[in-house]
Structure 1
Amino acid sequence: MKIAILASGGLGLKCIEDIFKNYKIDFIATDSASAGIIEFAEQKAIPVFKGNPRKGKLFEFAKGFQLDILFSINYLFIIEPDMISLAVYPINFHGSLLPKYRGRTPHVWSIINNEKQTGITAHIIDDGCDTGDIILQKLIGINEVDTGNDILQKYVAIYPGMINEIIALFKKNAIQSSPQQHALATYFDKRTPEDGEINWNWQKERINNWIRAQALPYPGAFTFYNSTKIIIDKIAYSDIGYNNNIANGTVLKCNGEMMSVKTSNGAIDLIEIRKVEGGIFPPTGSKLGS
C-alpha cells in the first residue's frame, strides 16, 4: 500500500507520527513553517516537499509515485488537479460536518456562531473547495467554555482513529462515499488577525463567543483604548451595576488587572487580558473601541 501525506502544523505532525508507526509513508508535503513535520521526515528518511506547491511544483516532485491513498491533513494549500490524479483515493480531512462550514478555520467559525456541535469529515478531494463525496464523519460537541484551541485538541484526539479506520477499509476494498447535499452548504472565508476586533454594540453572549474562539494560541480578540490595543482571552458575565444611558464599551471598573465593560445587554468582566500595549490600562469611565 502506497501512502503520501500533505500536512501542516501540529495536527498534521501528530497524524504523520501515528501513521508512521504502522505504515510506510512514500512522501510528505508541507509548508516551510511546519518545522516539526520537516524534521520528522528528514529524521525518518521520508522524501519531503517543503514550501508552496502551486504551478505544478509539487506535482513535479511527486509524479513518479503511484499512490493508493493521498491524505490531506490541515494542509495550508489547495491541492491542484494533477496531484489529485496521482492517487486512487485522494482524501481530505476537514474540521466540520460538511457540507456545513466549508472553507478555512471552521472550528473557530463554529464557536463564533454559537454552534453546539462540530465534527470532522473525511471526503474525496475534487476540484472544488471541500465539496467532494463524504467517506466518514465524526461528531464533536462544543461546550460553553471551549476555545478554538480546545476544539483543535479534540481533533488531535480523533483524527488518527479516523485515518486508521479508512486504511482498514481500503485494505478490505470497502471504501464507500456519498455525495454532499450541496444545497445545504455554507462557506466561511479565511480569518486574519485584523478580523478580531470586538464590537461593543454586540450582546455579551456574542462577545464571549468571539473572544473564546480566538483565545490563545490564536491571535486573539481585541479592542482599543485610543490607540492602545488590548488583547482579551477570557471574560465572565458581570453583575456590576451601571447606568443604561452610558455608551456600550464604557469601562465600568478597572483595577489594573481586570476591567468591567458595558455591552448592549449587560456587563462583562475581562478576566484574562493577554496584552495591553504600553501597559496603560484605560481608566474607569473611558470608552473602548476604535
Structure 2
Amino acid sequence: MRIVSFGFQTWGRKTLAALIDSDHEVVLSVTHPAGASSYKAIWNDSVEELAREHGIAVHLTERADAETIDLVKRAEPDVIVVNSWYTWMPPELYKLPPFGTLNLHDSLLPKFTGFSPVLWALISGSAEFGLTVHRMDEQLDTGDILVQHRLPIPAGATGTELVLAGMELIPGAVHQALAALTDGTAVWTPQNKADRTYFHKRSDRDSRIDWSWDAVDLERFVRALSAPYPRAFSHYRGERVEILAATISEARYGGTPGRVIVQEGGGAVVCGPNPVRGNNSALVITRVRTADGVEHDGGEFFVRGGYLTDSPE
C-alpha cells in the first residue's frame, strides 16, 4: 500500500518508523514545524528528520490547508496514518484514501478521548490504559476501532513511565492494523459513545494541587505529573513550590486542608474530605523544588509548619 503519514513529536516519529519498517511504501510525511513552546518541547523527537533520512517527501505545516490536501491527493495514498497531529483534518482529506484514515490514540477508547489521555488515566485512578487504532470520522477520537492494545497501570507508576510504555505499543499496533487492511480481515468495532469521556488539554492551572482531594488522589496526581511534564505545585509562605515526590501517610489526621504537620519523616499535609473528622490520610511530601530550581527534602523544607495554599498570601 501507499501510505501518507501525519504526525509530530515522538509519537509521530515512532509511528513513521513503524510504517517504514512495514512492507508498505510511505510516499509522504506531513508534520508540524518544530517549536519552542512548552507543549511542543516535550517528547520532541523529529518526524521530519527521520523522513528525510529515508528519502521520504516531507511537508511542513501547522494545519491541513488547501496546499496540504493537494499534496496528499497527488501522492495517491491507499491509507493515511495519523499520530499526534494537533489540528483539525477536514472530511475531504480523511475520506480521500480507499482505506480512509487511521488515527492512533493512546487510550482505551471510548474512554479518555481528547488530550493527555495517559496522564488523565493515571490521575483518574484507572486500572489500565493502552493504545487504540481507529478510523477517523467527524468527531475527535470517536471512529470505529480496528486495533486496541491494553496495559495495566502498576502501583507506583509515574506518568512518564506509562507514556513510555504506551509508545512501545505503537509498532505492533501499526503492523497489525496494516495487515488487517491488506489481507481483508479488518473488523471495525463501533464505539459506544455513551461511554465516552473527554479530557481537555492541560494548562498550568491544571497542575495546581487542590487540597480538598483525598490523599490517594493527590499521591496519584503527583506521580502523574513527573518530568518532563509540568510538576504539581502549590504555594507555601508566598512562594510557588513544586511537589516532586510524596507518599500516603500511615497515620490518620484531622484539621484544615493544606495544614503542614512535620511527622512520619517528612512534611505531612492534612488533606482529603471531611478533615474535621480526624479520620483522613495525609499526603506526606518527601521532595520539593522552589522557584529558584533548588530541590529540598520535604521534612526539612516544611519544618516551620504553616499552610499550603492555592495562591501566594
Normalised by the length of structure 1, the TM-score is 0.90
2:284 aligned with 1:269: yes
2:298 aligned with 1:289: no
2:9 counterpart residue number: 9
Tell me, yes or no, if the aligned pair for 2:4 and 2:72 is still in contact at 8 Å. Answer: no
Match of 1:19, SS?
Answer: helix
1:76 counterpart residue number: 86
Residue 130 (structure 1) shift: 0.9
2:268 aligned with 1:248: no
Residue 188 (structure 1) shift: 1.4
Distance in 1 between residues matched to 2:55 and 2:211, nearest whole Å: 53
Distance in 2 between residues matched to 1:252 and 1:73, nearest whole Å: 46
Matches within 5 A, 1:41-120: 41-89=51-99, 90-120=101-131
Residue 128 (structure 1) shift: 1.0
Residue 236 (structure 1) shift: 1.1
Q: Deviations over 1:25-56 (max 9, x none)?
A: 11111222256211112222211122311443
2:158 aligned with 1:144: no
Tell me, yes or no, if the aligned pair for 1:215 and 1:232 is still in contact at 8 Å. Answer: no
Q: Which runs of 5+ in 2 are unaligned?
A: 35-43, 273-279
Which residue identity is paired with 1:25?
A: V
Distance in 2 between residues matched to 1:28 and 1:4, nearest whole Å: 6
Q: Deviations over 1:207-249 (max 9, x none)?
A: 012111111111121111143211123211234686x33x221
Tell me, yes or no, if the aligned pair for 1:65 and 1:86 is still in contact at 8 Å. Answer: no
Tell me, yes or no, if the aligned pair for 1:221 and 1:233 is still in contact at 8 Å. Answer: yes
Matches within 5 A, 1:80-229: 80-89=90-99, 90-229=101-240
Residues 170 and 9 of structure 1, relative CA distance in 2, 3 Å threshold: same
RMSD: 2.3
Distance in 2 between residues matched to 1:194 and 1:74, nearest whole Å: 23
Identity of aligned residues (%): 25
Distance in 1 between residues matched to 2:9 and 2:266, nearest whole Å: 33
Match of 2:46, SS?
Answer: helix
Q: Deviations over 1:114-150 (max 9, x none)?
A: 1101222111101111111111111211122122222
Distance in 2 between residues matched to 1:203 and 1:92, nearest whole Å: 36
Which residue identity is paired with 2:173?
A: M
2:242 counterpart residue number: 231
Distance in 2 between residues matched to 1:8 and 1:18, nearest whole Å: 14
Moved more, 30-39 or 165-174: 30-39
Residue 110 (structure 1) shift: 0.9
Moved more, 60-69 or 134-143: 60-69
Distance in 2 between residues matched to 1:29 and 1:259, nearest whole Å: 49
Residue 109 (structure 1) shift: 1.1
Which residue identity is paired with 2:112?
A: Y
Tell me, yes or no, if the aligned pair for 2:131 and 2:148 is still in contact at 8 Å. Answer: yes
Residue 2 (structure 1) shift: 0.2
Q: Deviations over 1:159-203 (max 9, x none)?
A: 110111111122212222121112222211111122110011211
Match of 1:64, SS?
Answer: helix
Normalised by the length of structure 2, the TM-score is 0.84
2:268 counterpart residue number: 260
